[in-house]
Amino acid sequence: MDISQAGSQRKLQLQELEEIRLEAYENSRIYKAKTKVAHDKLIMRKEFQVGQKVLLYNSRLKLMPVEIKDESNAKQFTVNGHRLKPFHEDFQEHIMEELHLLNATSI
């Protein structure tokens, strides 16, 4: 095998490697797009009305800004909409019945 033939063989191998890399990149892009669509279908959209009470939990994200007002001091501030959960004033606690199970060995 002479040097020119080995050089052309090496060039062909590099081109094939580049094609494999581009195909892997494209497959990764398609997978990410499909995963995003599936994930977005599972996300529940939250809709709040003006004057509705909400619960606010700690988070540092600022993805979907929503302006809310604190009833205690009338202070207004902007928070991430994903940090809010509806507040149910009419929620009633249910009484749970407690049952004691016996050991299987004592039967």
pLDDT band at 43 (very low <50, low <70, confident <90, very high): confident
Mean pLDDT of the chain: 78
What are the extents of the domains in the chain?
A: 1-43, 45-89
**What digits encode the pLDDT tens for the residues 55-102?**
665 555 555 667 777 777 877 777 766 667 777 677 666 666 766 666
- Read off the amino acid at residue 50: V
- pLDDT, position 103: 63
Report yes or no: 63 and 82 within 8 Å, Cβ to Cβ.
yes
The 3-state secondary structure of 56-98 reads ECCCCCCCCEEEEECCCCCCEEEEEHHHEEECCCCCCCCCCCC
pTM exceeding the 0.85 threshold for the entire prediction: no
- pLDDT, position 29: 96
Over residues 30-44, the mean pLDDT reads 88
Q: Which of 54, 90, 57, 82 has its CA nearest to residue 69?
A: 54
